[in-house]
A = this chain, B = another copy of it.
């Protein structure tokens, strides 16, 4: 048994747009420590962004930019073939926009986590990962990168001196190589609260997760992603937090800059 450690719980937030409400942001906010806030391309609009930053601040929740492809109709879940430099420009634009709301609220942007198809693309594509890394490095203050545990992008970002928080998904099925099972596979998404909580605890305490084939595969987790767009998502968040705390794990957002011992 390892010594208890701290762990982050994060959730995609602020994805409502104009007349449209998405997610249970208000109910989930009390249980998470980091909010990945949409920046107006795949979801979110200026009023939603300002409101979400304000709510995160009120709950002491750390703020991350959650940039996506400019495709509201497809919710940023469709790959867009971009010109060289275009991903960097997309990320800069959206980080900057969110940053303005963070400053106005008197808080700092803590991290960046790409959304949807952009997340998947940078995770495994070298050119895209490089553009994301450039965007992060061009900012004045250091920013964390939340990225798929074990991905190409994670390694590249760390090599470039960016502090990477490994993201794991307790409610998603994993293959035996440690990658996420495609959504088309049976067992790709797990809905039972107790099972998801048990997987979260195993990720936190053992550094492993049960794969679809029954084996336990090692998966590093600096943050556990809670999905917020399913009804009852807030209950999942609440129960997961309880289960982790019951094991002596402190739920806490990571900080950019020198943080000895936080991410082991």
Residue of B nearest to A96 (CB): B100
Which residues in chain A, 62-119, are within 8 Å of chain B measured between CB atoms? 70-75, 77-83, 85-86, 89-90, 92-101, 103-104
Expressed in whole angstroms, the Cα–Cα distance for A257 and B133 within the complex equals 33
Q: Which of A17-25, A122-130, A187-195 contacts B (4 or more CB under 8 A)?
A: A17-25
A98 with B101: CB separation less than 8 A:
no
Q: Give chain B nearest CB distance to A133 CB in angstroms.
A: 13
- Pick from B81, B89, B95, B138: contact of A78, CB below 8 A: B81
B94 with A50: CB separation less than 8 A:
no
Q: Give chain B nearest CB distance to A206 CB in angstroms.
A: 35
- 23 inter-chain pairs at a CB distance below 8 angstroms, sorted by A residue, are A17-B20, A17-B72, A17-B73, A18-B74, A19-B22, A19-B43, A19-B75, A19-B77, A19-B229, A40-B93, A45-B73, A46-B89, A49-B93, A71-B80, A74-B81, A79-B79, A92-B97, A92-B104, A95-B100, A96-B98, A99-B99, A100-B138, A104-B138
